[in-house]
């Protein structure tokens, strides 16, 4: 990996039209665009004990033959609007690995009906992006899929305007231990409210890279939920919102375990999340954290997102989503990571 990704990897490029086909059967398909389509969301069952699965619609697939331990960077961008009813919208990537396992990631948000005057939430773009490492040599196959569920008893639809799925980089440098520089927040919630105003997640613990890298492009993608589940719906103001600040921190360390340098200045976002939106994707990127070679400093780092509750309803960082249905009618399920931090070193 010898280029700086920076703005290239954070840019949102939305395309429409047919999925791009490989030019030859044996050639890998490393980038596709999504055709515009209408996606249905099943209604909420009137029986509270009945299952309430998502509709799952695959929209594009890419593949890459990888060596054992090779790490690639995969990105899916989706834009939706024209919802008939407020609807859950998820952008999920399922990557099947050559050893039979999978590495999955999902980001989501509720999209408002098109007639809602709160236009900020009627047209939504979500980006799901992460590192995929092949445990053994073979083909990695990644599929982007839309997940949808109406938030009313009646079924809903929204319009997938377009988007893309691609391997943004096919060979990302790993840490000195050979592992991908990535960590997801585990299943559960990290609450933030008046009594616990801060959480330091998602986080990537101490890692080392080989000498000689110029810098790091560091990403912290957080799924933030308003009204965490330790409170009942009656405890939440359904006309209210939760406001929080998200700051990405990157630290470099010295051989004696003291701090070499830190950076957080250009990676802060404040978000206000209405109760009806429920959860949102908060992306952060520090594209140019320069590796210090000052006396005593070594290429050892850690990174995390600090989430600070500023007011309104309670909030939480969401971890791995367990038990997602594989399809609308399937009884099989899978897990997908959500909030996560990852690092791309560059020369």
Q: Could you tell me if 131 and 203 lie in one domain?
A: no
Q: Residue 212 class from Cβ within 10 Å (0-12 exposed, 13-18 middle, 19+ buried)?
A: exposed
Over 50: is that where the pLDDT of 21 sits?
Answer: no
Q: Report cis status (omega within 30 of 0) of the bond before 346.
A: no
Quickly state the pLDDT bin for 231 (edges 50, 70, 90).
low
Q: Could you tell me if 285 and 338 lie in one domain?
A: yes
Q: Strands 156-172 and 37-41: what pairing?
A: antiparallel
Q: Could you tell me if 192 and 304 lie in one domain?
A: yes
Q: Could you tell me if 264 and 214 lie in one domain?
A: yes
Give the residue from 254, 249, 268, 173 showing the smallest Cα distance to 214: 173
Q: Could you tell me if 82 and 127 lie in one domain?
A: yes
What does DSSP assign to residue 113?
A: B
Over 80: is that where the pLDDT of 17 sits?
Answer: no
Quickly state the pLDDT bin for 229 (edges 50, 70, 90).
low
Q: Could you tell me if 168 and 179 lie in one domain?
A: no
| Residue/partner pairs of 261-270 with CB below 8 Å, 24 or more apart | 261/292, 261/294, 261/297, 263/289, 264/306, 267/220, 269/245, 270/243, 270/244, 270/245, 270/246, 270/310
What does DSSP assign to residue 83?
A: B
Q: Could you tell me if 134 and 194 lie in one domain?
A: no
Across residues 289-300, what is the average pLDDT? 97
Over 70: is that where the pLDDT of 11 sits?
Answer: no
Q: Could you tell me if 149 and 207 lie in one domain?
A: no
Over 90: is that where the pLDDT of 23 sits?
Answer: no
Provide the pLDDT for residue 52: 86
Burial code (b: 16+ CB inside 10 Å, e: under 16) for 171-202 equals ebbbbeeeebbbbbbeeebbbbbeeeeebebb
Total domains present in the chain: 2
Provide the pLDDT for residue 26: 53
What residues pair up with 323 in beta bridges, in sequence order?
Answer: none
Over 90: is that where the pLDDT of 25 sits?
Answer: no
pLDDT in tens, 173-216: 999 999 999 999 999 999 999 999 999 999 999 999 999 999 99
- Domain final residue, candidates 172, 198, 213: 172
Vertex 216: Cα angle to 31 and 184 (nearest 5): 70
Over 60: is that where the pLDDT of 105 sits?
Answer: yes
Q: Could you tell me if 216 and 253 lie in one domain?
A: yes
pLDDT in tens, 241-268: 999 999 999 999 999 999 999 987 567 8
Provide the pLDDT for residue 2: 41
Q: Could you tell me if 162 and 13 lie in one domain?
A: yes
Q: What's the domain range around 52?
A: 1-172
Q: Which residue has the tokens 């250009």?
A: 266
Across residues 297-309, what is the average pLDDT? 97
pLDDT in tens, 81-99: 999 999 999 999 999 999 9
Q: What CATH code is carried by the domain that includes residue 28?
A: 2.60.120
Give the residue from 145, 111, 141 showing the smallest Cα distance to 128: 145
Across residues 298-313, what is the average pLDDT? 97
Q: What CATH code is carried by the domain that includes residue 213?
A: 2.60.120.660
Provide the pLDDT for residue 50: 86
Q: Residue 107 class from Cβ within 10 Å (0-12 exposed, 13-18 middle, 19+ buried)?
A: buried
- Domain final residue, candidates 172, 187, 208: 172
DSSP string, 284-300: EEEEEEEPP-STTEEEE
Task: Report percent pLDDT > 70 for the chain.
Answer: 90
- Whether the CB-CB separation of 30 and 167 falls below 8 Å is answered with yes
Over 60: is that where the pLDDT of 8 sits?
Answer: no
CA pair distance 188, 205, nearest whole angstrom = 19
Task: Report percent pLDDT > 90 for the chain.
Answer: 84
- Whether the CB-CB separation of 27 and 199 falls below 8 Å is answered with no
Provide the pLDDT for residue 265: 59
H/E segment holding residue 7: helix 6-10
- Domain final residue, candidates 119, 141, 172: 172
Across residues 9-32, what is the average pLDDT? 52
Q: Which residue has the tokens 């069952």?
A: 45
Mean of per-residue pLDDT scores for the chain: 91
Q: Residue 50 class from Cβ within 10 Å (0-12 exposed, 13-18 middle, 19+ buried)?
A: exposed
Q: Could you tell me if 247 and 186 lie in one domain?
A: yes
- Whether the CB-CB separation of 191 and 315 falls below 8 Å is answered with yes
CA pair distance 171, 67, nearest whole angstrom = 10
For residues 224, 242, 246, 13, the Cα torsion angle rounded to the nearest 10 degrees is 60
Q: Could you tell me if 331 and 199 lie in one domain?
A: yes
pTM for the complete prediction? Answer: 0.91
Across residues 97-116, what is the average pLDDT? 98
Distance of CA 65 to the CA centre of its chain: 24
Over 70: is that where the pLDDT of 5 sits?
Answer: no
Total residues belonging to the chain: 347
Over 80: is that where the pLDDT of 47 sits?
Answer: yes
Quickly state the pLDDT bin for 16 (edges 50, 70, 90).
very low
């Amino acid at each position: 990996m010898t280029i700086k990704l920076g703005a290239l990897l954070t840019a949102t490029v939305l395309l429409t039209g047919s999925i791009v086909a490989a030019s030859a059967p044996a050639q890998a398909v490393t980038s596709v665009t999504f055709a515009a389509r209408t996606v249905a969301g099943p209604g909420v069952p009137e029986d509270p004990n009945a299952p309430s699965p998502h509709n799952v619609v695959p929209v594009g697939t890419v593949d890459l033959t990888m060596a054992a331990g090779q790490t690639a960077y995969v990105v899916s961008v989706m834009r939706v609007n024209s919802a008939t009813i407020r609807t859950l919208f998820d952008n999920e990537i399922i990557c099947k690995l050559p050893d039979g396992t999978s590495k999955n990631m999902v980001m989501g948000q509720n999209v408002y009906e098109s007639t809602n005057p709160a236009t900020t939430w009627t047209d939504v773009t979500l980006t799901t992006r992460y590192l995929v490492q092949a445990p053994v040599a073979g083909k990695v196959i990644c599929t982007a899929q839309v997940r949808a569920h109406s938030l009313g008893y009646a079924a809903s639809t929204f319009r997938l305007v377009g988007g893309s799925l691609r391997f943004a980089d096919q060979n990302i440098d790993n840490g000195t231990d050979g592992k991908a520089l990535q960590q997801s927040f585990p299943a559960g919630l990290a609450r933030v409210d008046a009594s616990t105003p801060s959480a330091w997640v998602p986080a990537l613990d101490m890692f080392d890279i080989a000498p000689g890298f110029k810098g790091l492009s560091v990403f912290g993608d957080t799924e933030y939920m308003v009204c965490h589940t330790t409170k009942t719906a009656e405890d939440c103001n359904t006309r209210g919102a939760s406001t929080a600040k998200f700051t990405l921190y990157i630290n470099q360390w010295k051989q004696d375990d003291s701090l070499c340098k830190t950076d957080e200045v250009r990676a802060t976002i404040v978000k206000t999340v209405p109760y009806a939106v429920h959860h949102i994707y908060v992306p952060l990127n520090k594209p140019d954290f320069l590796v210090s070679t000052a006396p005593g400093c070594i290429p050892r780092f850690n990174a995390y997102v600090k989430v600070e509750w500023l007011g309104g309803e309670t909030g939480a960082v969401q971890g791995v989503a367990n038990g997602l249905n594989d399809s609308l009618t399937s009884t099989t399920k899978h897990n997908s990571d959500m909030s996560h931090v990852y690092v791309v070193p560059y020369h």
